[in-house]
Amino acid sequence: MRNSRTDDSVIFSLIRTELMPLAHSVHPLDAHAIRELPVRFRTGITYVAAAGKTAKPYGFIHFEKYGPLLYIDMLVTHPHHRNREWGKKLMASCEAYGSTHQCTHAKLFVDDINAKAQRFYTRLGYQAVRYDPELRCFEMVKPLAPPQPQPGI
């Protein structure tokens, strides 16, 4: 789980350097978007990937539950820690949360110019269901399986 006191500076830096440059609706120097980040993180859940509780995060995932929908808002892995399955592990943890909290499907948006992320989500079982030309994003959806009962229970 995210510790705002120790994790937010790294998380917000990752957003500015890795997500905002790909987004058509905001700019990395957009002061309003930067100021809104703490507000955005007050809702939902954020998991971080890190070497320990006090270590700087390698990456993070932020998501919210809306009834049967698990909405994945943001996922970022630091460039020096990519290709080590941190993104895959963060997604698996997020989806496990959704499954255990009666979510039937997960949804996310990925920027049209981010082909690498599109391939990543497709490999995880997400399918593009529509394109939003205003946002220049693909909406991707994946059904979530209900949690499996433990043997002997």
SS3 label, residue 95:
helix
125: left (phi over 0), alpha (psi -120 to 50) or beta: left
**28, pLDDT greater than 60:** no
Mean pLDDT to the nearest integer, 100-120: 96
Confidence bin at 32 (pLDDT 50/70/90): confident
Tokens of 72: 């994945």
In sequence order, the 6+-apart residues with CB closer than 8 A to the CB of 93 are 47, 61
User: Which amino acid is residue 121, in one-letter code?
Assistant: Y
Contact 74, 23 (CB under 8 A): no
* pTM as predicted: 0.88
- pLDDT given at position 34: 76
Give the whole-number percent of the chain exceeding pLDDT 90: 69
Mean pLDDT to the nearest integer, 1-25: 87
**29, pLDDT greater than 70:** no
